Amino acid sequence: MASSPAFLADSRRFLFFTGKGGVGKTSLACASAVALARVGKSVLLVSTDPASNVAQVFGQVVGHEITPITGVAGLAAIEIDPQAAAAAYREKIIGPVRGLLPDAEIAAITEQLSGSCTTEVASFNEFTDLLADDSLTGAYDHIVFDTAPTGHTIRLLQLPGAWTSFLDAGQGDASCLGPMAGLDKARRTYAAALARLADPALTRLVLVARAQHSALTEAARTAGELSRVGISRQHLVLNALLPDPGPTGDPLAVAIHQREAACLADLPTALNLLPRTLIHMRPAAILGVGALKDLLTETAPRACASPVLPPMPRSLPGMDTLVDELVAADHGLILCMGKGGVGKSTIAAAIAVALAECGKQVHLSTTDPAARLDDVLAGTADAHLEVSRIDPQAATTAYREKVLATKGAALDDAGRARLREDLLSPCTEEVAVFREFSHLVSQARRQFVVIDTAPTGHTLLLLDATGSYHRDIVRNLGATKGVATPLMRLQDPALTKVVLVTLPEATPVQEASDLQDDLARAGITPWGWVVNQSLAATSTTDPLLAARAGAEAPHLDRVRELAARLAVVPLLASPPTGVTGLHSVIPQPV
């Protein structure tokens, strides 16, 4: 395997690919599995990606059973459906008590088991046997996993103790403790699986990212988190890099290449220490065994790109269409939501600035821990625009200390350790910042409030289902009968407009669709969608970029099916910072 990338050299038995949605984990996992099989190894490819397209990549049905891959001797694959796994996991826990507990309690338990942590634990539950049971996988030389558990999930599964009794005693809290119910029975299997995950002689983790500031920051955070739980054998892959277009190339292509080069020259310390592989952008989606074979070659594909530009998708509405509708009112709450790295801060800032320039009084706030909003605004000043920031770290620290001092006071050392780990979950942060978020929600009755990131539907329902926070809000407001709580205001379409932000790629669109379903459970319907960083919305003449633009068509069509309103923002040559940059996000009237 001399010509293979470094992460396949001296390959370990277990190979995990991880990274945020849309960075190319599935393509790289499939290509690696094919590469290993081509040198005579027997390989099992396992996908737990919620937007898994392994079947599409290979052009055949895969599904929930181990299936041989046609045309690749020695390769088989299985797709674990995370949602189905989570549903089965919930039923296993709730089924025995259904009919014994009141419906309200069943609803509360169900919601507690409906978060992303439950889905991840349930998926891990599904492939634990593939990791730990040699009677199932002993026939394979290598097992390649498309997506890996996060450091938080691994830490939870490493903890000793009986989680079920911990919950039954009412000692948990409204965050991610739900997934731990019933895990004690599987502790030995988990221990064996986790030991293999952390064994550098058996396991290598491939961290996949794009050469973009936000993606690299998140990748560095993941690398550090996994190192802390003992997964130290890591390899960085920077995927979909644009080859040098030359000084006379298309301006957009030149700008993208320069931005990526700057990112590579200034990698976060946690990533700079890792061995790395660079993979160049391909002109088309990676489909079929032939494309998978080529993906891991070192040759830049620019010469292979077709000079014939594909037809652009039909007319794409811009952000100005959304702002024109928003500005017709004089107040309201606008929530920009979506996964990390899709550009929520930019979209929120652009909306806020546009409304302020129309003479509306606007309060723009963020819960972004990286304070990205400061960079986007770049000193923008407007008498109609107030800017604030909710500090998630400070809010979460205070919340953890309060819970440990109250619910944790009566626990033994093991119980406090479980509670501390539960309070490190992503859901805890959402719960903690909700107090400050609630204050902003009340302001939206008098002015525009634009918020970059907001509580998910799961968090809102969890808070409402337990009743404790809902009652606290009512009591703190000195409310009487008929008061509107924050959840009620978020459910009011006349007041609240939820804007889902995504990218024109399969996984980000699927993640946004899942978020829309999550909000629907809380009685909240997104007002509109924004597809950010679209090549299809540019006028690029670069053959490689134009080919990629054409590949966005099915994802844009999918968003049209899901969205009540749609706006598409082009991939910009210059970062959208300051007034001028934000004007490029929302076209100004001529």
**CA nearest 92: which of 54, 118, 57?**
118
Establish whether 49 is a catalytic residue.
Answer: yes
Edge-first strand listing for the sheet containing 496-502:
385-389, 362-366, 448-452, 332-337, 496-502, 528-534, 566-570
Establish whether 397 is a catalytic residue.
Answer: no
Token digits for 208? 């996949």
> How far is it, in rounded angstroms, from Cα 101 to Cα 276?
53
Contact 1, 43 (CB under 8 A): no
Establish whether 541 is a catalytic residue.
Answer: no
Over its C-alpha atoms, the chain yields an Rg (Å, rounded) of 24
Instruction: Report CA dihedral (211, 214, 215, 220) to the nearest 10 degrees.
Output: 100
Catalytic one of 4, 11, 20, 25: 25
Catalytic one of 11, 119, 507, 513: 507
> How far is it, in rounded angstroms, from Cα 160 to Cα 137?
27
> How far is it, in rounded angstroms, from Cα 164 to Cα 170?
10
Q: Distance from CA of residue 230 to its chain's centroid?
A: 23
Torsions phi, psi for 501 (to 5 deg) = -110, 135
Owner of token pair 């992503």: 426
Owner of token pair 């292509």: 253
Establish whether 27 is a catalytic residue.
Answer: yes
DSSP per residue over 269-290, as a string?
Answer: HHHHTS-EEEEE--SS---SHH
Catalytic one of 11, 19, 21, 24: 24
Catalytic one of 4, 11, 26, 217: 26
Catalytic one of 48, 49, 137, 514: 49
Catalytic one of 4, 11, 18, 22: 22
> How far is it, in rounded angstroms, from Cα 168 to Cα 141?
43
Establish whether 141 is a catalytic residue.
Answer: no
Kindly tell me the burial class for residue 385, based on how many C-beta atoms sit within 10 Å of its own C-beta (0-12, 13-18, 19 or more). Answer: buried
Distances in Å between the Cα of 92 and the Cα atoms of 104, 107, 114, 125, 168 are 19, 15, 14, 12, 16
Token digits for 78? 């299985």
**CA nearest 583: which of 338, 361, 318?**
318
* Terminal Cα distance for the chain, rounded: 59
Catalytic one of 4, 27, 118, 147: 27
Establish whether 507 is a catalytic residue.
Answer: yes
Contact 349, 356 (CB under 8 A): no
Establish whether 22 is a catalytic residue.
Answer: yes
- Beta strand extents in 95-172 (DSSP E only): 142-146
Torsions phi, psi for 92 (to 5 deg) = -60, -35
Distances in Å between the Cα of 298 and the Cα atoms of 28, 322, 408 are 14, 43, 54
Token digits for 134? 């040699």
Q: Which residues are catalytic?
A: 22, 24-27, 49, 507
